[in-house]
């Protein structure tokens, strides 16, 4: 299966205008795309699909920073394939 990475850092904004709206539209389509194995990230930090879905449902990244801090400290960053 094809793999792809989408940086969704713009979705962590409380209020979406411009770029966050574009990233949201791409992320929504990526979540529905069964032909590609998508990894969502904030820079190199993987973000769970349910977090992306929550942001999309709320049209806001409000409340996402504690999750991001936890993921940054306790998660493993994505790495470049060898």
Residue 17's pLDDT is what? 94
Structural tokens at position 18: 């411009």
Residue 52's pLDDT is what? 96
Model confidence pLDDT, tens digit, residues 24-42: 999 999 999 999 999 999 9
Q: Are 21 and 61 in contact (CB under 8 A)?
A: no
CA distance 71 to 42: 10
The phi and psi torsions of 28 (rounded to 5 degrees) equal -60, -45
**Which regions in the chain score pLDDT beneath 50?**
none
Closest CA to 47 of 17, 82, 76: 76
Residue 67's pLDDT is what? 85
Cβ atoms within 10 Å of 58's Cβ, excluding its own:
13
Residue 80's pLDDT is what? 65
């Amino acid at each position: 299966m094809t793999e792809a990475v989408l940086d969704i850092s713009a979705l962590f904004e409380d209020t979406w205008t411009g770029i966050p709206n574009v990233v949201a539209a791409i992320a929504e389509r990526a979540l529905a795309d069964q032909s590609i194995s998508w990894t969502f990230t904030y820079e190199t930090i993987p973000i769970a699909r349910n977090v992306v879905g929550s942001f999309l449902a709320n049209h806001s990244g409000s409340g996402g920073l504690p999750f991001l801090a936890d993921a940054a400290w306790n998660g493993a960053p994505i790495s470049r394939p060898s």
